[in-house]
Chains A and B, each alone.
Chain A
């Protein structure tokens, strides 16, 4: 069974640009969550989607957005990039709320 797949693995962008990250969940998983990991803050919850609907949102500015498609694949978008957005962005998928979340390998975003 394939795991959670995130693309691209690495990305370098310039301040002010926008970026789109992609996540394909484990087959059969309908929930997809996104997290940001930085050295100082650890893993911070961004948002969660289930059946194309955003159900939970973390404390991030509106520049961070996402969506989920009918096949459960999800994308995350960050507009007007800032240096502080440099981080490892992780996607996780779950089957139900009572089961564990499985993470992808992440996308390392560097903003210069």
Chain B
């Protein structure tokens, strides 16, 4: 049972436009969410995170929105740049105790065309 879902395997956008990557989750115990960017043959690079007590977090060109009632989060990249082309993973962590386990979605391949 996939608790974190990224339903779009790929997304293609033009340079300068907005990229919106979506993620849905089913486990109501998740209270901390992260986005990672990954290039082939490299480890994931942390981009931005959001706690469940917030509904928005912004860092430069990256903004993450969290809709707890819909169990949905999204990553907005504005403006998109060719260097943003990579696989983006959504991840979630459960609340409570010392649970460091991250549950990942299967990723969305973003291609930004010049």
A40 to B49, CA, bound (A): 25
A64 within 8 A of B: no
In the complex, the answer to whether B98 meets A55 with C-beta atoms within 8 Å is yes
B60 within 8 A of A: no
A43 to B102, CA, bound (A): 9
Nearest-neighbor residue (CB-CB) of B46 within chain A: A100
Chain B interface size band reads 20 to 34
In the complex, the answer to whether A56 meets B106 with C-beta atoms within 8 Å is no
B16 within 8 A of A: no
A103 to B42, CA, bound (A): 9
Q: Which B56-113 residues have a C-beta within 8 angstroms of A? A: 89, 91, 93, 98-107
Other-chain contact of A50, B36, B89, B100 (Cβ < 8 Å): B100
Known contacts A4-B43, A43-B89, A108-B41; A101/B32 CB under 8 A:
no
Q: Is the interface of B mostly helix, strand, loop or mixed?
A: strand
A87 to B44, CA, bound (A): 15
Contacts of A50 in B (CB 8 A): 98, 100
B23 within 8 A of A: no
Nearest-neighbor residue (CB-CB) of A101 within chain B: B102
A100 to B93, CA, bound (A): 10
> A46-77 CB contact bits vs B (8 Å, 1 = yes)?
00101000011010000000000000000000
Nearest-neighbor residue (CB-CB) of A94 within chain B: B100
Contacts of A41 in B (CB 8 A): 106
Q: Which A83-112 residues have a C-beta within 8 angstroms of B? A: 88, 90, 92, 94, 97-98, 100-106, 108
A22 within 8 A of B: no
Known contacts A97-B98, A97-B99, A100-B34; A43/B104 CB under 8 A:
yes
B45 within 8 A of A: yes
B residues with CB within 8 A of A: 32, 34, 36, 41-46, 49, 51, 89, 91, 93, 98-107
Nearest 10 pairs between A and B by C-beta? A103-B43, A42-B106, A43-B104, A48-B100, A100-B46, A105-B43, A56-B101, A103-B44, A106-B43, A45-B101
